[in-house]
């Protein structure tokens, strides 16, 4: 029995799905990391959660860009790739806003 060959179209669809799920996971993990960081401040949970969310968001952005160029079926691959790209970008933006908010709350003398 011979293994199935994966076509280029299937490979692009798989990459778009991975980008979508990484972008969605990073976006959904943001409130969890904020709550855990606030509740478990002494354990340094915020840094751990942000260090896990950033790579997932970046993978979503990169795969979204690459697979959007490769996708031949506009109905499936391009939409998933675009969704992963958007959610990854929103996650990165929220991370920067969260870091800025933390700096403004805990280090008020620095920006005055």
CA distance 101 to 61: 24
Spell out the alpha helix ranges (H) of 1-112: 8-39, 45-70, 79-106
* pLDDT tens digit sequence for 44-98: 556 666 777 788 888 888 888 888 877 665 666 788 888 888 888 898 888 888 7
In 10 A of CB 51, how many CB atoms? 10
Name the pTM for this structure. Answer: 0.73
Mean pLDDT of 8-36: 77
């Amino acid at each position: 029995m011979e293994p199935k060959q994966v076509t280029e179209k299937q490979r692009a669809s798989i990459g778009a799905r991975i980008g979508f799920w990484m972008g969605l996971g990073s976006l959904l993990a943001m409130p969890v990391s904020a709550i855990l960081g606030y509740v478990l401040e002494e354990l340094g949970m915020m840094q751990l959660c942000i260090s896990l969310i950033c790579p997932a968001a970046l993978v979503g952005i990169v795969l979204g860009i690459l697979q959007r160029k490769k996708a031949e079926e506009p109905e499936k691959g391009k939409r998933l790739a675009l969704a992963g790209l958007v959610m990854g970008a929103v996650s990165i933006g929220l991370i920067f806003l969260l870091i800025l908010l933390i700096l403004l709350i805990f280090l008020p003398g620095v920006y005055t």
